[in-house]
Amino acid sequence: MPFDSTNADLQVIPVKTPDELKRFIVLPARLNAKDPNWITPLFMERTEALTPKTNPFFAHAEVQLFLATRGGRDVGRISAQIDHLTPQPTPGRLDGHFGMIAAEDDAAVFQILFRTAEDWLSAKGRTHAVGPFNLSINEEVGLLVHGFDTPPMVLMGHDPVYAGKRIEEQGYVKAQDLFAYRADETGDIPEIAQRRVKRGLPAGVVLRQLDWKRYDEEVATLTDILNDAWKDNWGFTPTTEAETRQLAKALKQVIDKRLVWFAEIDGEPAGVVVFLPNVNEAIADLNGKLLPFGWAKLLWRLKVKGVKSARIPLMGVKRKFSTTQRGRMLPFWMMKASRDTAIGLGYNRFEISWVLEANTAMTHIAENVGGTHYKTYRVYEKAL
């Protein structure tokens, strides 16, 4: 698609100053103001996520943010980044990533944003652009292409209906789809699994909740399990302990130790599952602001009133155990224990996300615990 010269006043600027970063962060809220399912992220959290001093991702990645403007008005944004920890899928291929995409429903805006991001990646030797990753595959991933009629869960994205078409107009094609499954308190693990669970844990298997007094050590254990469990997944990029620690620190006020379960086999950490209270339910009417009273409202809703929904963003079993009889049952034991605890605490809606469409083992688990596929996030790619 040739660039339309009638949009000569349309330009892209690299984000360099704190004011430009603020404009970058707040733009999606204005673009999505009429969407009843849009939830504005907390400005403080977004600022920390996009600042090198507070996000360990920048220690192993190069990142450039861009703003599109027309006549002095911000009309779009995009990021271009290279994660040096990402393994390359094939010899000779060098992937770069794009993300944070948000723009008015205007082909010219999408075109100039992607052309700028692609030029930046090409100049650094990248052969393909893949995304959206906000900013890494271990953070928010994919563009919403199905399930626009409900708000997103914590750490999941929400995009306008037109965005997918506009991205495809730039020559991008589907690389992978990621699924989100919705379940409620009436769902349960399959009857055959229930019978085995009711027999009790076999010798050598222990389930336990997160030990708050050893929080940092627990975070390191979680990182080790997930990096091992997910190693063979599409797009796998190891999470550094610093990144996990930063996320755990950011979520420490909302994590409920009763909803994080570890499994051990013969004394060795073997699996983990995390139920995360859906913070989005608590911040929906704060418009991204915690001051002057937003912080008090958030804590009251999370700690006193309580939210009713939770997301399961993390679950994994170490590969050395996953093919054994005891290891194959770990997801069901952990899910049963954490789900029953969550229901006892008043949670009645759950999301299992995200799950790679090709990960049939996990899609079967999600379906077998009563989950219904209700949202799809798409990762696109393009040869540069």
Residue 101 shares a structural domain with residue 142: yes
Residue 265 lies in a domain: yes
Over 70: is that where the pLDDT of 88 sits? yes
Residue 298 lies in a domain: yes
Residue 102 shares a structural domain with residue 136: yes
Q: 359 and 177 in contact (C-beta within 8 Å)?
A: no
Q: Which residues of 30-64 are buried (b: 16+ CB within 10 A; e: fewer)?
A: ebbeeeeebbbbbbbbbbebbeeeebbbeebbebb
Domain assignment of residue 156, given as a range: 10-177
* Band of pLDDT at residue 304, cut at 50, 70 and 90: low
Among residues 335, 181, 347, the alpha carbon closest in space to that of 261 is found at 335
pLDDT tens digits along 41-83: 999 889 999 999 999 999 999 999 999 999 999 999 999 999 9
Residue 231 shares a structural domain with residue 294: yes
Residue 99 shares a structural domain with residue 225: no
Give the mean pLDDT of 259-278: 95
Residue 154 shares a structural domain with residue 207: no
User: In whole angstroms, what is the distance from residue 141 CA to residue 133 CA?
Assistant: 5
Q: Look at residues 115, 143, 177 and tell me which one is the last residue of a structural domain.
A: 177
Residue 3 lies in a domain: no
Residue 121 lies in a domain: yes
Give the mean pLDDT of 346-353: 93
Residue 353 lies in a domain: yes
Over 70: is that where the pLDDT of 291 sits? no
Report the SS3 class of residue 103. strand
Residue 43 shares a structural domain with residue 61: yes
- Dmax (CA) for the chain in angstroms is 73
* Band of pLDDT at residue 367, cut at 50, 70 and 90: confident
pLDDT of residue 60: 95
Over 80: is that where the pLDDT of 4 sits? no
Q: Look at residues 146, 177, 208 and tell me which one is the last residue of a structural domain.
A: 177
**Cα dihedral 221→225→231→235 (10° resolution):** -70
pLDDT of residue 5: 42
Over 70: is that where the pLDDT of 159 sits? yes
Give the mean pLDDT of 319-340: 90
Residue 314 lies in a domain: yes
Kindly report the CATH number assigned to the domain that includes residue 156.
3.40.630.30
Residue 236 shares a structural domain with residue 316: yes
pLDDT tens digits along 210-266: 999 998 899 889 999 999 998 888 888 888 878 877 877 777 777 889 999 999 999
Confidence (pTM):
0.92
Residue 91 lies in a domain: yes
Residue 209 shares a structural domain with residue 353: yes
The token duo for 322 is: 């996953």
Over 80: is that where the pLDDT of 129 sits? yes
The dihedrals phi and psi of 93, each to the nearest 5 degrees, come to -100, 135
Residue 83 shares a structural domain with residue 209: no
Residue 155 lies in a domain: yes
Over 50: is that where the pLDDT of 3 sits? no
Among residues 51, 79, 95, the alpha carbon closest in space to that of 237 is found at 95
How many structural domains compose the chain? 2
pLDDT of residue 338: 92
Q: 228 and 318 in contact (C-beta within 8 Å)?
A: yes
pLDDT tens digits along 172-213: 999 999 999 998 877 666 676 677 777 788 899 999 999 999
Lowest mean pLDDT among 116-120, 225-229, 277-281, 304-308: 304-308
Give the mean pLDDT of 290-318: 80
Give the mean pLDDT of 36-44: 94
264: left (phi over 0), alpha (psi -120 to 50) or beta: beta
Q: Look at residues 123, 157, 177 and tell me which one is the last residue of a structural domain.
A: 177
* Band of pLDDT at residue 2, cut at 50, 70 and 90: very low
Helix axes 215-229, 241-251, angle to 10 degrees: 120
Over 90: is that where the pLDDT of 102 sits? yes
